Structure 1
C-alpha cells in the first residue's frame, strides 16, 4: 500500500514525519479532510488564516490540498 503524508501549510510547512499507508489517492483526500476538521475543532484559531493540509504520496508528488477555511 502506498504511503501518504499530510503536511499543515501556510507560508511555511509543518511536516508530517510518519505518514499513513492508504489504498489510494481518494482515501488520502478523505483522510486529509478528517485531519482538517479535527484541527479546526482542536485549534479554532487556525480558521481564517489560510492554512491547508497538503497531501503528498511516497514519491513526494502533490495529490491535493484541503484548505481549512472551506470546512465551516
Structure 2
C-alpha cells in the first residue's frame, strides 16, 4: 500500500498532519477532504486565508492541493 503525507500549508508548511498508508490516490484525496472539513470545524478562521491541504506520496510527488476555500 502506498504511503501518503498530509500537511496544512499557507506560504509554508504550517502543520504536519502526519501520514498513512492508503489504497490509492483517490483514497488520499478523499482523506484530504475529510481532514480539511475537520480542520475547518475546529478552526473556521482559516477559511478564505489561502490555506490548503497538501498531499504527497512516498516519493514526495504532489497528489493534490486542496484549498480550504472550496470546502462547504
Which TM-score band (shorter chain)?
Answer: over 0.9
Deviation at 1:15, TM superposition (A): 4.8
Instruction: Report the number of matched residues.
Output: 72
Distance 1:18 1:54 in 2: 11
Structure with the higher strand share, 1 or 2: 2
Q: C-alpha displacement at 1:18, in angstroms?
A: 3.5
The two structures have a TM-score, normalised by structure 2, of 0.93
- Which residue of structure 1 aligns with residue 36 of structure 2? 36
Give the TM-score normalised by the residue count of structure 1. Answer: 0.93
Aligned to 2:16, the other structure's residue is in SS state coil
* RMSD (Å), alpha carbons: 1.2
